[in-house]
Amino acid sequence: MMHGFIPPQRYFAYLTWQQIEALPDKAHVVIVQPMGAIEQHGPHLPLAVDAAIATAVLGKALTQLPEALPAYALPPLYYGKSNEHWHFPGTITLSAETLRQILLESAASLYRAGFRKLIWLNAHGGQPQVLDMAARDLHQTHPDLMVFPHFVWNVPNPAAELLTPKELELGIHAGDAETSLMLSILPDQVQPDQAVCEYPHGLPTDGLLSMEGALPFAWVTRDLTRSGVLGDATVATVAKGDRLLAALADGWVRVIEAVHRFQQPAAWRDEPHPDESLKTRPPEPPPP
Ligand SMILES: [Zn+2]
């Protein structure tokens, strides 16, 4: 059962090389890499939360996807860049450089096989910047490769309705949202009797600098919490988790469909612009 939450017929690693070779129209097959982390999530949740969320949401979305739409899930990337949780035992972190190399080299392997559409479906808040930069670099070196560095929570979902305003602003790790979702997807691995409420300590009150947002300061998790929780895990419920999971899965069905339809803009390749003043285009760089 290596596919876990992923429907087996959508699990890339179950295919043979001949089946990969024979896939029709590989340039429009959507490949999705679920990405998480192995990092502390407080006293009540397992290390695998982010990997579990990415994979469970994707698995549910793939179950709902129209059968005719070609899409495959890669094996989950369990490890991520988690050095903010460095001081809490059990956290395993890759450096930004290592994570970047994994992303670049796995994408190059998929490209070599003929795939051109790759979604990184990431559920760990500590690494989107690495993904953004690697995605752009890949598109620069492989102009016909379309890479989508996406965060699992960035599709419409009822978090604003289900969580308190304080939780929405400050509950960024192992709080109500993640705990509720885990009660829905892996209930046996949650210890509700160990759940705590701990909001970040010592935040600036100047109205300018903040933990996240436009004018952030750098922090590691032990600066802000003793338990490892940032948020209120005590109010999590399976009902909230079920609603979040359903909404996230619906959202990812729509994203995968959009990626399947997507065409990369290519102003540099378009027919000459009718407006004389816009007829120039960047020169082709010399061959390497
Ligand atoms: Zn998490």
Whether 275 maps to a domain, the answer reads no
- Of residues 7, 31, 132, the one with CA closest to residue 81: 132
220 Cβ partners below 8 Å, 6+ apart? 83, 84, 85, 86, 87
Decide if 94 is inside a domain: yes
171 C-alpha to center of ligand 1: Å?
A: 11
228 Cα to the center of ligand 1, angstroms: 11
Q: Give me the CATH number covering residue 143.
A: 3.40.50.10310
- Is 32 among the domain residues? yes
Q: Specify if 15 maps to a domain.
A: yes
| Residue 283 lies inside a defined structural domain of this protein | no
What separation in Å is there between the alpha carbon of 245 and the centre of ligand 1? 15
Residue-range definition of the domain harbouring residue 118: 8-265
pLDDT tens column, 85-119 = 999 999 999 999 999 999 999 999 999 999 999 99
Spacing, Cα 23 to ligand 1 middle (Å): 35
The two three-digit tokens of residue 51, written as one number: 């990997």
Which residue matches tokens 């994994």?
Answer: 102
Distance from Cα 209 to the centre of ligand 1, integer Å: 23
Predicted confidence pLDDT, tens digits, the chain (288 residues): 999 999 999 999 999 999 999 999 999 999 999 999 999 999 999 999 999 999 999 999 999 999 999 999 999 999 999 999 999 999 999 999 999 999 999 999 999 999 999 999 999 999 999 999 999 999 999 999 999 999 999 999 999 999 999 999 999 999 999 999 999 999 999 999 999 999 999 999 999 999 999 999 999 999 999 999 999 999 999 999 999 999 999 999 999 999 999 999 988 887 777 777 777 788 887 776
- How many whole angstroms from 174 Cα to the centroid of ligand 1? 6
Is 286 inside any structural domain?
no
**Which residue's structure tokens are 């210890």?**
191
277 domain-assigned: no
Distance CA 236, CA 246 (A): 16
Q: Which residues place a Cβ less than 5 A from the ion ligand 1?
A: 49-50
> How far is the centre of ligand 1, averaged over its atoms, from the C-alpha of 179 (Å)?
9
Q: How many domains does the chain have?
A: 1
DSSP letter (8 states) at residue 208: S
pLDDT at 273: 72
State the distance from the centre of ligand 1 to the C-alpha of 100, rounded, in angstroms: 20
| Ligand 1 centroid – CA 141 distance (Å) | 32
270, part of any domain:
no
Separation of CA 82 and ligand 1 centre (Å):
10
Spacing, Cα 48 to ligand 1 middle (Å): 8
The model's pTM is: 0.95
> Which 8-state DSSP code applies to residue 273?
P
Residues 82 and 38 sit within 8 Å (Cβ to Cβ): yes
